[in-house]
Amino acid sequence: DQQVKQNSPSLSVQEGRISILNCDYTNSMFDYFLWYKKYPAEGPTFLISISSIKDKNEDGRFTVFLNKSAKHLSLHIVPSQPGDSAVYFCAASAMGGSARQLTFGSGTQLTVLP
């Protein structure tokens, strides 16, 4: 049972336009959410995060929105650039336990077309 779902395996957008990547979660205990970007043959790299006490966090071209009532978050990239082409993973974390574990979604392959 996947607790973090990315229902779109792929997304293509034109350079300069907005990319919107979506993520849904089922565990109401999740209180911290992150987005990672992964290029082929490399490990994922941290992109942006948001705490459940916020509904928006912005960092340059990247903005993450959190809708707690819908258990939904999204990553907006504006404007999209060809170098943004990568797999994007949504991840969520809950307080408690011996260590903060991240639960990842299945990823969305973003292709930005020049």
Contacting residues toward another protein, per CB under 8 A? 4, 6, 9, 31-32, 34, 36, 41-46, 49, 89, 93, 95, 98-107
Given 3-state DSSP classes, what are the helix, strand and coil percentages for the chain, each rounded to the nearest 5?
5, 55, 40
Within 13 Å and on the Cβ side, how many CA atoms surround 45? 8
Least spacing, CB of residue 91 vs another protein, in Å: 8
42 vs 114, beta carbon nearer another protein: 42
In whole angstroms, how large is the CA radius of gyration of the chain?
A: 14
Least spacing, CB of residue 93 vs another protein, in Å: 5
d(CA 82, CA 72): 26
95 vs 114, beta carbon nearer another protein: 95
**Token pair belonging to 44:** 């994922």
13 vs 36, beta carbon nearer another protein: 36
Least spacing, CB of residue 14 vs another protein, in Å: 26
Query: Any idea of the CA torsion for 59, 2, 40, 85, to the nearest 10 degrees?
Result: -40
Q: State which H helix or E strand residue 85 sits in.
A: none
Least spacing, CB of residue 47 vs another protein, in Å: 9
47 vs 112, beta carbon nearer another protein: 47
